[in-house]
Amino acid sequence: MKFKLIYPKWKKLAGQTEFHLPPHGPVVFAATIPEDWDVEFTDENVEPLVFDDSPDFVGVSMMLTSQVKRGWEIADTYRRRGIKVMFGGIATMLHAEETMRHADAVFLGEAEGRMEGVFEDFKNNRLKPCYDYMADPPPVSLVGPARRSILKEELYYYKGVQMVDLVHASRGCRFNCYPCCVSFLGGRKFRPRPYKKVIEEIAGIENNRLFIVDNSLAQNREWELGLFREMIPLKKKWCCHPIEDDDEVLDLAAQAGAWYVYQAIFDTSDYIRKRIRRYKDHGIAVEGTVLLGLDGQTENDIRRLVDFLLEVELDLAEFTVLTPFPHTRTFDDLQREGRILSYDWNDYTADKVVFRPDKMSPEKLQELYAYAWDTFYQDEPQPYKMFRLLQKVAVREKADGTYRGRRRDLIARRFGKKEAITGDLL
């Protein structure tokens, strides 16, 4: 029987160079589908979705709030034709009730160890409207290697350079940051996967460049040290969310192939300045994730923050505006204070102001969002900074013999013969 798994399209940030990473939730989920099912996958971000087929069962995987309306539309189309649709993924958990109106089943929680039962229910025509396992996550040791074979690899290249492959070494997060919904999803519990399983999975990935998508690696010093020690022989190069600010950890991370980190930058303090410096001292580059519009932040604060980012020589910056995603403390506060201006989830792209900021008008914050992107990338445009980051990794790969170069056939196909191919990244 055929299961069609769909990852709905979502809008990328205004201001950001468009590139597409392979989705992670769907491939991890796909590994849990019983073996007697054929799985066909469409990532609508990189290829058109064809509706005139007849799968036996459709699955829609949603990660972001900005995907849900498109996900519902897709489900409605299949259901009108009598084909059953099941939803899962992070945004399904965040928008469960609304999603149930468009679904034959919604699955809430982690899929490992649960899918035999759900697919059996489908076969016996007794699918439940809601499978809620959020309070009862499976043992993390059950998480196996993601089923990356469902991806069409050639769709995930940027100018002939293969995008990173995604992998995770743990689930959950012990923190509870103000704009984040992870504590709702995972109950503030950090759950590391056994090293052996992580290392086996990473070793089996052909791509040398990875994105370790764990929420934050800075959860447990001993665990981090152990993970990096095990990773050193694999010679992979990777980016990740924050790493512990500790000399031994940063040193081992660098040896294990840490290439750059996504580090939240919220002010111009010495603490942040030092945090960035210390990554760089260990040869790890930094992409700042910069949230604009927090309460108390003024127009001047934002202008000063952008100057600061240039001064500390961030390698890349990604600006977003505070967005009251459901099941966050931000949502609760702004909702209570009557400051949410739109409940249209298509507006929740993190680049549109959908709330009334504390110290300025929504229009001013929107203007400052554009100012931040434009000013940060004024002298060195984004593609140039991205190229420099790629050069950094290429130098290290050449040194340890793992460098693979660009796919010229894909460049030629995309740009035609006119594109001058002026050598490689080095």
User: Strand, helix or coil at 36?
Assistant: coil
Q: How far is the CB of 81 from ligand B12 (least distance, A)?
A: 18
User: Strand, helix or coil at 67?
Assistant: helix
What whole-number distance in Å separates Cα of residue 243 and Cα of residue 110? 25
Q: Which residue is nearest to ligand B12 (CB)?
A: 88
- The answer to whether 343 and 413 have CB atoms below 8 angstroms apart is no
Query: Which stretch in 49-57, 104-112, 152-160, 374-382 sits in contact with ligand B12 by CB under 6 A?
Result: 104-112
What string of DSSP letters covers 193-244?
PPHHHHHHHHHT---SEEEE--S-STT-HHHHHHHHHHHGGG--EEEES---
Integer-rounded Cα Rg, in Å, for the chain is 22
Is 302 a binding residue for ligand B12 by CB under 6 A? The answer is no
Q: Please select the residue that binds ligand B12; options are 4, 8, 57, 61, rule is CB under 6 A.
A: 61
The entry of ligand SF4, ligand B12, none near residue 13 (CB within 5 to 8 angstroms by kind) is ligand B12
What whole-number distance in Å separates Cα of residue 402 and Cα of residue 130? 46
Is 189 a binding residue for ligand SF4 by CB under 6 A? The answer is no
What string of DSSP letters covers 135-156?
TSPPPGGG-----GGGS-GGGS
Q: Please select the residue that binds ligand SF4; options are 5, 161, 182, 252, rule is CB under 6 A.
A: 182
Stretch 205-224 residues interacting with ligand B12 (CB under 6 A):
213, 215
What whole-number distance in Å separates Cα of residue 13 and Cα of residue 66? 11
What whole-number distance in Å separates Cα of residue 288 and Cα of residue 129? 41
Is 169 a binding residue for ligand B12 by CB under 6 A? The answer is no
**Six token digits for residue 109:** 């929680």
Q: Please select the residue that binds ligand B12; options are 41, 57, 78, 107, rule is CB under 6 A.
A: 107
Query: Which stretch in 108-116, 201-209, 223-231, 365-373 sits in contact with ligand B12 by CB under 6 A?
Result: 108-116
Is 111 a binding residue for ligand B12 by CB under 6 A? The answer is yes
Q: Binding mask 16-55 vs ligand B12 (x if CB under 6 A, - otherwise)?
A: -----xxxxxx-xx--------------------------
Query: Closest Cα partner for 286 from 250, 259, 248?
Result: 259
The entry of ligand B12, ligand SF4, none near residue 59 (CB within 5 to 8 angstroms by kind) is ligand B12
Query: Which stretch in 18-26, 62-70, 177-185, 345-353 sits in contact with ligand SF4 by CB under 6 A?
Result: 177-185
Stretch 117-176 residues interacting with ligand SF4 (CB under 6 A):
173, 175-176
Q: How far is the CB of 92 from ligand B12 (least distance, A)?
A: 7
What whole-number distance in Å separates Cα of residue 391 and Cα of residue 370? 28
The entry of ligand B12, ligand SF4, none near residue 112 (CB within 5 to 8 angstroms by kind) is ligand B12
Q: Binding mask 322-351 vs ligand B12 (x if CB under 6 A, - otherwise)?
A: ---x-----------------------xx-
For ligand SF4 (CB under 6 A), the number of binding residues is 9
- The answer to whether 5 and 38 have CB atoms below 8 angstroms apart is no
- The answer to whether 256 and 232 have CB atoms below 8 angstroms apart is yes
Query: Closest Cα partner for 3 from 118, 92, 91, 110?
Result: 118
Residues in Cβ contact with 42 at an 8 Å cutoff, skipping those fewer than 6 apart? 4, 5, 6, 7, 49, 50
Query: Which stretch in 223-231, 242-250, 251-259, 318-326 sits in contact with ligand B12 by CB under 6 A?
Result: 318-326
Interacting residues with ligand B12 (CB under 6 A): 12-13, 21-26, 28-29, 59, 61, 63-65, 86-91, 94, 107, 110-112, 166, 168, 180-182, 185, 213, 215, 289, 318, 320, 325, 349-350
Interacting residues with ligand SF4 (CB under 6 A): 173, 175-177, 180, 182-183, 215-216
